[in-house]
Structure 1
């Protein structure tokens, strides 16, 4: 099947369906990885204030832009409002901090990173109590925050606004004000989010998949802490079999599966060879039977890796998005 390389957005903008993720990349490593990604052809770059590496991304992107407005227009840069900024009066401050570190006149898309909120503690994006739990702000006004993002869009400093890690009810609530330009959530073969994606499709909201390859660093860290089994997606027998049949890497099969389902993806790697492989997805196609085999790997909610267990206490927040 033919898969468009872009998602068409309002105003004639195009969101590349394969982007470059930056979560858990140290700034010095990220800067070099972004240079390799630009050389490989990536033009969609995903970041967040909470990743604490926006400055490194900004340096690499601005070297490539070199002050040329035409080159800037070729990029689609995404960043996110952190949990510590999830209150209407904090949106402006956190947005401007991101824009300053990225060194850009405007941001292509700004997302609400999560629906729950931390307390605002100057200089600390992840404030904790003495017992290690997060300092949660339970008074979150999600619709109020969304309206502030829409104001940013009206100002011209953001071209599009969207959301991340929202459930169906939260999406519907925001759509009553204005439809988000995209929903970014964890999607991969073990956590296919079929019901949520169907709801987003009905609402006309494109899906962007984070952790499309399973986020092995996070999975390994959580496995060591909890003892839970987190399979390596790149070693699943079905994935390996299909990869061999197409003379492709397991990562390419996992990403192509999402693309053929109409889901955009933002794989992250710091290896130049894998960075190049992860965007080389347009010259092969999975068969109907292969798509069905991969669909059968879905574990539903049990396949989720990024369940925010590392934010102790977040599950008690009234806007926590996942099943409790």
Structure 2
């Protein structure tokens, strides 16, 4: 029975992944084609001086002389087989471009999610240590205000403020993200702060409920400190809703990389996607968006597995819930 459940769960996930790939490739293909002729990217941009004969040869070589439906089906087949073809503008295989630009984006997204959780746990610890008196209520209100501001802060505005303060003001960090660890600080913080504010807001609501639960009251009656109650008992229970949102948060970080990589002149799939969309480089845009969508599906799967690991009740209730 367990093997059958696992097979059904895996089949559901594969079906979801294929649906995501099809919808993503379809929307991107027709949106870019409606925005203009991709032949401009092939011939070197709007200022190209290519003659009519060269233009016609390029149109035939890239299959742009075929009916639009045929072009769509060919692109869809390349997408399903993960053979996205060659970039119109860079004249390189899209898979090579993805292999070169995906790791830097995954690095800053992963570091940003880890930093966001560190900030969330530290904020929860501050609130727990503040107690329930007048000072504690003031600290709770202040932390709630910080969480709200952080969660709604636009990444481009936050990144610009960080550059103004730590680059122009104090000269502590580089303005562009180079190959040194210092170049990672500002992009990672820019990505992490809004996600940390959102996760902290969700976590604090769950902590209030867990704080009055019998296991927390019993632990305090035995002399446990607020920090011990938080770290040993309430945090694990309260973290489940925020943990369930971590998959969504990682997907948001991947999409936020478009802004951050452009702002800090950092190599990555987000910056590559922005540049390709500007020149209507269809294979690159479809390849990048599809890979990001598949990563999102995979991260959501890992998030479900991690949620079940933290809360065994989900396994007992659902059997296998992948």
TM range (shorter): under 0.3
| TM-score, length-scaled by structure 2 | 0.24
Which structure is higher in strand share?
Answer: 1
Larger radius of gyration: 2
Which of the pair has the greater relative contact order for Cα pairs under 8 Å at 6+ separation?
A: 2
The two structures have a TM-score, normalised by structure 1, of 0.23
